[in-house]
Structure 1
């Protein structure tokens, strides 16, 4: 047996193993350094926020995931509306506006219960089962329902129902609906709730003395192009002004941490009353 050859082979294996272990060690050291830097930077920003007397709840650090979604123009809502009864309705820019012939009486705290059967009836509301009640975006005089997608809830003017309440009666509603939703890319990681709030502060979008009331993650429109719209995961952050008591709803791109422009939707606007 050629022992010399075996010694050489063992030597080569030993050297390769040491190189591999050394490389792995350096990589782990780098990851640990990056993580420590992120933690240190987050802690520093939170201290600055406390110094500005901004009230921040406990923020989650769980990483989520989502997609780039696309939806083209569709006549689905117009076609389905032909079956509607006991209401007078019209369309403006693909948005349905309806006034009920017989208003629906509601009791205090029972508004959504009164609408359960209405949403389940396609002769009262088209695609009603495709929407979910959103307490966060609702007020005393209007109930907001957001469209449900397989990938998550859509918080956008293009997929919602808003019921108007007057004198303890639901008198009218407006509705929009998107269909034929497709994914444009593979699933990607989203930033955490904590990262979203820190990004909002870093963009000077939180005034001194403000309070973070709530946050929620859903899909919203990124852009419109060629009769299609692109939607992305978005962090919605409600910020209450200390002096006025008004609540502003800000949006952070959950992929890039970029502050998004104010929504053009009345119920998801950047300035709403508390």
Structure 2
């Protein structure tokens, strides 16, 4: 990679991020005031009144932004894939059809995929299981940094497909390279503050159970080659009907975000 070009890209990224962080500094307290006033009762008391329970909350006060670059695959690299059929899509994604399908012990067991990831996937140990879709006979894995998941980024995922014999016959991969933490760590909204945000917006219904509160990352800034990711709280909830719900909150700004592939859309507060 041309060092001069790369240096210019990173300068632009950091400049944009500096402007963004300054805007957060100006509106953080204002944003906090938008959360519904709960009166004399604490959020813990309100949750108890509504029979909303939650798991042990993590104690993470600081975390950095991270950045990375998009892997571009070349035909020369694909020659190392032996007899497998390899298709390169938009230079950033490979679709590999195996010459011999690989049997999986139990498609619902995350441990069953470990050997496959380590053997067939480039930098396979950097991916963690996200979803198993038995209907479409597929499993999706998201890339991680320091055991923290990068949510719904098209450039950092693996998807495998199995046949009726529980054998993986094809997979897709994209890869983020050079994932590094920014030197400065940011102060995070605490899990209980994030729960209060969800509660004040009516997203947490009575008789719900918060089963997971976990810190990961979502996409903040995207360029052709460089990406910047913001610390993000992942909250999973089982509602009174037994259905699982999932929410993501920007851990630096405290806003609920709609995390989808290749976008991070902020949901504005309702007036």
Q: What TM-score do the two structures reach when normalised by structure 2?
A: 0.66
**Structure 1 residues 174 and 226: CA distance shift in structure 2, 3 A:** closer
Deviations 1:1-47 (A, max 9, x none): xxxxxxxxxxxxxxxxxxxxxxxxxxxxxxxxxxxxxxx98962233
Asked if 1:261 corresponds to 2:261, the answer is: no
**Structure 1 residues 89 and 211: CA distance shift in structure 2, 3 A:** farther
Secondary structure at the residue paired with 1:83?
Answer: helix
Secondary structure at the residue paired with 2:53?
Answer: coil
**Structure 1 residues 102 and 226: CA distance shift in structure 2, 3 A:** closer
Pick from 163, 170, 173: which aligns with 2:160?
Answer: 163
For residues 178-257 of structure 1, what are the structure 2 equivalents within 5 Å? 178-184=176-182, 186-225=184-223, 227-243=225-241, 245-257=242-254
Pick from 80, 85, 90: which aligns with 1:83?
Answer: 80
Q: Which residue of 2 aligns with 1:172?
A: 170
Corresponding residue pairs, total:
220
Q: What TM-score do the two structures reach when normalised by structure 1?
A: 0.65
Kindly name which structure, 1 or 2, has the bigger radius of gyration based on alpha carbons.
Answer: 1
Greater strand proportion: 2
Q: Which residue of 2 aligns with 1:63?
A: 60
Contact 1:63 1:189 in 2 (8 A): no
Q: Which moved more, 1:167-176 or 1:101-110?
A: 101-110
Deviations 1:107-150 (A, max 9, x none): 237855554443333xx32222333x33x644554434332325
Inter-partner Cα distance in structure 1 for 2:147 and 2:114? 23
Q: Which residue of 2 aligns with 1:17?
A: none
Greater helix proportion: 1
Inter-partner Cα distance in structure 2 for 1:151 and 1:53? 32
**Structure 1 residues 202 and 229: CA distance shift in structure 2, 3 A:** farther
Inter-partner Cα distance in structure 2 for 1:126 and 1:99? 15
Contact 1:153 1:218 in 2 (8 A): yes
Q: Which runs of 5+ in 1 are unaligned?
A: 1-39, 266-274
Inter-partner Cα distance in structure 2 for 1:191 and 1:237? 13
Specify which structure has the bigger relative contact order, considering alpha-carbon pairs within 8 angstroms and separated by 6 or more residues.
Answer: 2
Deviations 1:211-233 (A, max 9, x none): 32222211221232464321011
CA RMSD of aligned residues (A): 3.3
Pick from 137, 142, 149: which aligns with 1:146?
Answer: 142
Secondary structure at the residue paired with 2:256?
Answer: coil
